[in-house]
A and B are shown apart, each in its own frame.
Chain A
């Protein structure tokens, strides 16, 4: 019925009509899932190389002990990179995720001392603080349309300030339950994997549903999505809130690992998360890339440290290596962009 109507309205759009531009010049259109996965290819490739180097340098790399300790190290980095990836896919950026880790960490370590709350209440308040910070960033960027770069840098100073207010000096102890739980293992699987698996599952579900689609669409063209009647401001706000849920998870892992509070703890994670997103092939312009890429990027950053350590390279080369990996990733992105152009 609809086809008839369309034909009646646009009779010249007949496929056999010679006026219609020939289809052979058009590139075959890949399904979205395939092209998404393709963007992560360089990141995954680099991850395989780094895993290969790790396995070569450290013969027991694949043993359960080594894998689970690596996973414990990687869990917070993966989560924080996923947080950044969600925001970047929505076409924005969050430079306050590192300060967010500090905020949650200091809340976990400082609140029991300051207020005498028990573990459950402390965790709930820390979660509420993280989500409130996400809402704040989301409102600034989504609704007030401030530049994400500067606005989240400004809020980053505020979160860091609040973290310092809670814990002026490093120290204190995070509720012990967290540390115990983090170190636990069920068979060969460390419980540190739980938040990562939960985050990945959550994203996998969202990505297949309306919200995930709209988030990526908003990232690729906010204007088009807005004009098609979707409230992009709300999508961006929700993207920040989702990201800060992941930030909370990352902070929980880090706090469990260090077992104490430090307001400067999270700061280096901000730029690392951006680097991981770039390595993972997610376009900073938004809307292009996959979570697999971000996770690969995070693992590359973690495992590069291992390579430097086990190869006996002085640790002062680590920064240079990281810079080089990012530059190589940029090169890949450039080649990819040329091919699809």
Chain B
């Protein structure tokens, strides 16, 4: 019980409830069903990109993936180019996007583990290279960028007021939760992040784990990029750019340690909902972008402080 009260999940959940109740009191209609579904969709994308960042950060070694934006844009544009009306085209689009993502992730992983490039620089350079190539590609080749109706229905539709993609997210989140908390692979991942030397000495293959994590990260980002095309309705340059740093922020607020080895995806998922509700409440209160940016920065600093305290053991909100 005590652990429940102290956990990061509970803290974030309480904050979400507080924001929703407060929002309903100040702005009537803040929590109606359509508004709710809308926010859930926005939170879904944030949360899905958060999976990438959570996995990479957990693997340690100052892990970070700043190429998720470029991977998502690439996945989205390749997906849109291959898509046609039928559902076979959809599978092809997702498959091709996943392949593109896997290639980006593999290059990232090899650069970071074998060539020892810092993850920040490696993924930044990779992102800038992919973005640059996409600018050239989109100006030379004129391919389809519109989302097919099937994809739009998939990413934008809903059943009984619950968006379909939110169901996807729930499935993905459960999978990640099971993977991290309850599978041998997840244990290996945590061990690698917490103490690479110990992991290596106990038979863990640190490099393999880290490469796998970057591949997974970019693959997920590319797949989410295709979904994003369905949600926005069109693939365009810079599709995923806004998610690069926000995905890191969500992971940090969710309590994933940049040093690696600690993290809980359920908390990250709640953090994604928290950030979305916070943003939409500030918008509903008609606080301008200036105020939103300041509050966003202050929130992040506050959570950094909580992370720091929980590491030092002075406060157990971890």
Verify if A1 is at the interface (C-beta below 8 Å from B).
no
A200 to B132, CA, bound (A): 32
Q: Which chain B residues lie closer than 8 Å to A93 at the CB level?
A: 120
A147 to B122, CA, bound (A): 19
Query: 1/0 per position for A261-280, CB-CB distance to B under 8 A?
Result: 00000000001001100100
Query: 1/0 per position for A86-101, CB-CB distance to B under 8 A?
Result: 0000000100000000
A322 to B130, CA, bound (A): 11
A316 and B136: CB pair below 8 A? yes
A162 and B294 in contact, given A314-B139, A316-B135, A323-B131 (Cβ under 8 angstroms): yes
Q: Supply 14 further A-B pairs (C-beta < 8 A) apart from A150-B249, A324-B129.
A: A145-B308, A153-B245, A154-B297, A157-B296, A161-B294, A164-B290, A278-B125, A319-B128, A319-B132, A321-B132, A322-B128, A326-B121, A326-B124, A334-B115
A285 to B133, CA, bound (A): 29
Q: Which chain A residues lie closer than 8 Å to B17 at the CB level?
A: none
Return the contact of B121 from the options A144, A151, A155, A278 (Cβ within 8 A).
A278
Query: 1/0 per position for B205-240, CB-CB distance to A under 8 A?
Result: 000000000000000000000000000000000000
Q: What are 25 contact pairs spanning A and B, CB under 8 A?
A: A144-B305, A144-B308, A146-B305, A153-B248, A153-B249, A154-B297, A154-B298, A155-B297, A157-B293, A157-B300, A161-B293, A161-B295, A162-B294, A274-B120, A284-B120, A284-B121, A316-B135, A319-B128, A323-B125, A323-B133, A324-B132, A326-B121, A326-B129, A330-B117, A337-B116
A165 to B293, CA, bound (A): 10
A93 to B128, CA, bound (A): 19
List residues of B (239-294) whose CB comes within 8 Å of A's CBs.
245, 248-249, 252, 258, 288-294
A168 and B125: CB pair below 8 A? no
Verify if B301 is at the interface (C-beta below 8 Å from A).
yes
Q: Which chain B residues lie closer than 8 Å to A114 at the CB level?
A: none
A285 and B124 in contact, given A153-B249, A316-B135 (Cβ under 8 angstroms): no
Verify if A160 is at the interface (C-beta below 8 Å from B).
yes
Query: 1/0 per position for A309-341, CB-CB distance to B under 8 A?
Result: 000001011111111101100100110010000
Q: Which residue of A lies closest to B308 (CB)?
A: A146
Q: Shortest beta-carbon distance, B150 to chain A, in Å?
A: 31
Q: Shortest beta-carbon distance, A140 to chain B, in Å?
A: 7
B128 and A323: CB pair below 8 A? yes
Return the contact of A146 from the options B64, B121, B292, B304 (Cβ within 8 A).
B304
Q: Which residue of B lies closest to A140 (CB)?
A: B301
Q: Which chain A residues lie closer than 8 Å to B252 at the CB level?
A: 150
Name, among B125, B129, B258, B294, the residue most crowded by chain A CB atoms within 10 Å (CB to CB). Answer: B125
B132 and A151: CB pair below 8 A? no
Query: 1/0 per position for B68-110, CB-CB distance to A under 8 A?
Result: 0000000000000000000000000000000000000000000
A278 to B125, CA, bound (A): 10
Q: Which chain A residues lie closer than 8 Å to B290 at the CB level?
A: 161-165, 168
Q: Which chain A residues lie closer than 8 Å to B297 at the CB level?
A: 154-158, 161
List residues of A (152-183) whose CB comes within 8 Å of B's CBs.
153-158, 160-165, 168
By secondary structure, the B interface counts as helix
Q: Which chain B residues lie closer than 8 Å to A144 at the CB level?
A: 305, 308
Query: 1/0 per position for A245-257, CB-CB distance to B under 8 A?
Result: 0000000000000
Total chain B interface residues with beta-carbon distance under 8 A: 41
Chain A interface residue number, banded: 35 or more
Q: Shortest beta-carbon distance, A293 to chain B, in Å?
A: 14
A319 and B304: CB pair below 8 A? no
Q: Which chain A residues lie closer than 8 Å to B296 at the CB level?
A: 154, 157, 161
A302 to B140, CA, bound (A): 25
A146 to B304, CA, bound (A): 7
Q: Which residue of A lies closest to B293 (CB)?
A: A161
Name, among A144, A158, A162, A285, the residue most crowded by chain B CB atoms within 10 Å (CB to CB). Answer: A158
A164 and B293: CB pair below 8 A? yes
Q: Which chain A residues lie closer than 8 Å to B298 at the CB level?
A: 154, 158
B136 and A317: CB pair below 8 A? yes
Verify if A149 is at the interface (C-beta below 8 Å from B).
yes
B135 and A320: CB pair below 8 A? yes
